[in-house]
Chains A and B, each alone.
Chain A
Amino acid sequence: MAASAAIYAGYIVVGLIFLFPLLWVASLSLRPMAELFVFPPRLVPQHPTLAAYHDVLSGSPLARYLLNSVKLVSATVLCALAIAVPSAYALSRLRFRRPGLKPLVMLGMLAVQLISPLVTALPLYRWFSTLGLINSHAAVILVYVALSAPFATWMLTGFLDTVPVALDEAARIDGCTRLQSLLRVLLPVMLPGLASTAILLAISTWGQFIVPFVLLTRDDLYPVSVGILDYQSSSDSVSTHLLAAAAILSALPAMLTFLVLQRFIVGALTAGAVKG
């Protein structure tokens, strides 16, 4: 019993440490300006109001930033999956002529993810400048896809490995080509794997910062991760509630996606961790 009490005490401490910063910012965002400087500070506002959210969404470019992010993220997830599905198929189902090549490709894909996007962003910035591709969403999406496709391939390969080969072999005996067996037979079975991969990609792309920070200079093109930094530098202490509301709004999509699909994500993450 004492042990259970100790565990619960631990839960409360951990819960507070990780939840309190968010609660505090949420509290700031719900205050009227007059309550920003109350002393002693209190977590629950006396006169909570959604005015800050209204002001931020109607009177600032934040709505535009959010839209840009939605656009960049959805295009990236779709393109990354389109590239990852055939790659995962090859890695899971096809025989490489030299047996060493497959692990090499798999490890290579892991290795590229461990290099900071800043390192590749420097030469990309130079090329894109000369090509006139600075301030192009298409260029940003292309780089995002390169950043996320290896991870998507890695996840989907792991997922396909768990689908019995007999399934697509039956389809091929019935006369399907490999492409047909992938599209008609395997893809429907892979749906849960595709979904969790898409969610993880969406969350990581939503937070992606360096690439748009370097490749976009026009603020009407910023995704929310870069836009909110801009917003912060233009805000001051009397607009703290607005900054807090903007922070909550830019975190909300990623947070909600995570909370709703938590089971999925934790499963995918832990499976990845154990497999390596």
Chain B
Amino acid sequence: MIAAGRRPLEDRPFLWLAPLLLLLAVLYLYPLVDVTRLSLTDATDAATPAHYTFASYRSVIGSAEFLAMTRVTVVFVAASIAGQLVFGMLIAALVCEGERRHLPGAAIVRAIVLVGWVLPGVVIGIIWKLLLDESGAGIVAYAASLMGARNPTFLSAPVPALFWVTIANIWRGTAFSMIMQYAGMKTVPPELYEAAIVDGAGILQQFRYVTLPSLRGILLINLVLITIATLNTFDMVLPLTGGGPGRATEVIALYIYHLVFSEFQFGRGAAVAVVLMAIGLALSACYARMLQRGRTA
């Protein structure tokens, strides 16, 4: 047994990890501490000295805008994750089922869905903005007019705008849920399906009694990850609506950005950022627990 202090340098893991840990400490951990500190000040911009106060939290969380933003964010996040989970699972089931029957084309469908996911968020916003052009040349407007709608509004009225921003986000995020659940479905032993078929289970019953229970762990992890991703949505909304009309699609990340960079309310922006961070950390903790449970099980 080598004494603790005599361990050769090259055997010490933290020496190898030092660059990474240093980088994370300076550019992650310290900013998180600093943003928390800033949230307790009345900071405006970088040049003006700030005083410590608890007023940021009080004035922000009590404000009507915060309430409105919370409502928009909750609707956006809840509808997005429901859509992404359901469509992701449907597509994953389609692809798996196709592969099991050796139908050609499954890999192509998988690739097409994933293309939407690798696009930069801003480009996705622009693509949907072009699709939702409200003039006669817009393709969705044309489709709506074929179905009898006259002068439909998509992004220029509050409720449709939130609806379409959510649709665009489901389009963007479904691929991730699809690939996670596809991976999960691949790990289900085929014997389980064979046994179910012997017992006379149809496709829907196989899904209900074999696929779903086997996917529970993956679904929970999936849920946590897409909740976080959707909460952090920022880039896609900017070109699509910029948070408007009014503040109808101002989700939490946009709200923080506006507070800090348009209204120069740094302290308040930091306060909302701390709220976002706290939710993120809480969800990460859930995620970590699930992973550890998955390891030991």
B171-220 at interface with A (beta carbon < 8 Å): 171, 179-180, 182-184, 186-187, 203, 218
Please state if A255 and B119 are interface contacts (CB–CB under 8 Å): yes
Contacts A11-B105, A209-B121 aside, 19 further interface pairs with beta carbons under 8 A come to: A11-B94, A14-B112, A21-B131, A87-B16, A90-B15, A107-B291, A115-B28, A115-B277, A115-B281, A118-B234, A119-B277, A122-B260, A179-B10, A225-B122, A225-B235, A229-B238, A247-B127, A266-B179, A276-B221
Question: Looking at the complex, which one of A89, A123, A207, A259 makes contact with B38 (CB distance below 8 Å)?
Answer: A123
Cβ contacts under 8 Å, A259 to chain B: 111, 115
Binds A, one of B19-27, B52-60, B64-72, B151-159: B19-27
Chain B: residues with Cβ within 8 Å of the partner, total of 105
Cβ contacts under 8 Å, B121 to chain A: 207, 209, 225
Please state if B120 and A118 are interface contacts (CB–CB under 8 Å): no
Please state if A19 and B112 are interface contacts (CB–CB under 8 Å): yes
Q: Bound state CA distance, A137 and B38, in angstroms? A: 26
Question: Looking at the complex, which one of A96, A118, A179 makes contact with B273 (CB distance below 8 Å)?
Answer: A118
Please state if A89 and B16 are interface contacts (CB–CB under 8 Å): yes
B5-64 at interface with A (beta carbon < 8 Å): 10-17, 19-21, 23-24, 26-32, 34-35, 38, 46
The residues of A with any CB-CB pair to B shorter than 8 Å are 3-4, 7-8, 10-11, 14-15, 17-19, 21-22, 24-25, 28, 36-41, 83-84, 86-87, 89-91, 94-97, 101-103, 105, 107-112, 114-120, 122-127, 129-130, 142-143, 145-146, 149-150, 153, 177-179, 203, 206-207, 209-210, 213-214, 224-226, 228-229, 232, 237, 240, 243-244, 247, 250-251, 254-255, 257-259, 262, 265-266, 269-271, 273-274, 276
The residues of B with any CB-CB pair to A shorter than 8 Å are 4, 10-17, 19-21, 23-24, 26-32, 34-35, 38, 46, 90-91, 94, 97-98, 101, 103, 105-106, 108-116, 118-123, 126-131, 133, 135-139, 142, 171, 179-180, 182-184, 186-187, 203, 218, 221, 225, 228, 231-232, 234-235, 238-239, 253, 256-257, 260-261, 266, 269-270, 273-274, 276-277, 280-281, 283-285, 287-288, 290-292, 294-295
Q: What are 28 A-B contacts defined by CB distance under 8 Å?
A: A18-B113, A19-B115, A25-B126, A36-B137, A41-B138, A83-B19, A111-B285, A112-B28, A112-B29, A115-B281, A119-B276, A120-B31, A123-B35, A126-B266, A130-B46, A146-B26, A207-B120, A209-B122, A225-B235, A226-B122, A232-B126, A237-B135, A240-B137, A247-B127, A254-B120, A273-B180, A274-B183, A274-B187
Please state if B12 and A149 are interface contacts (CB–CB under 8 Å): no
Return the chain A residue nearest B105 by Cβ: A11
Question: Looking at the complex, which one of A17, A149, A254, A273 makes contact with B218 (CB distance below 8 Å)?
Answer: A273
- The number of A-B residue pairs with CB atoms under 8 Å apart is 290
In angstroms, how far is the closest chain A Cβ from the Cβ of B253?
Answer: 5
Q: Bound state CA distance, A141 and B29, in angstroms? A: 18
Cβ contacts under 8 Å, B238 to chain A: 229
Question: Looking at the complex, which one of B4, B126, B234 makes contact with A247 (CB distance below 8 Å)?
Answer: B126
Cβ contacts under 8 Å, B34 to chain A: 123, 126-127
Cβ contacts under 8 Å, A103 to chain B: 292
Cβ contacts under 8 Å, A210 to chain B: 234-235
A119-B35, A225-B235 given as contacts; is B281 within 8 A of A111 (CB)?
Answer: yes
Cβ contacts under 8 Å, B94 to chain A: 7, 10-11, 14
Please state if B179 and A262 are interface contacts (CB–CB under 8 Å): no
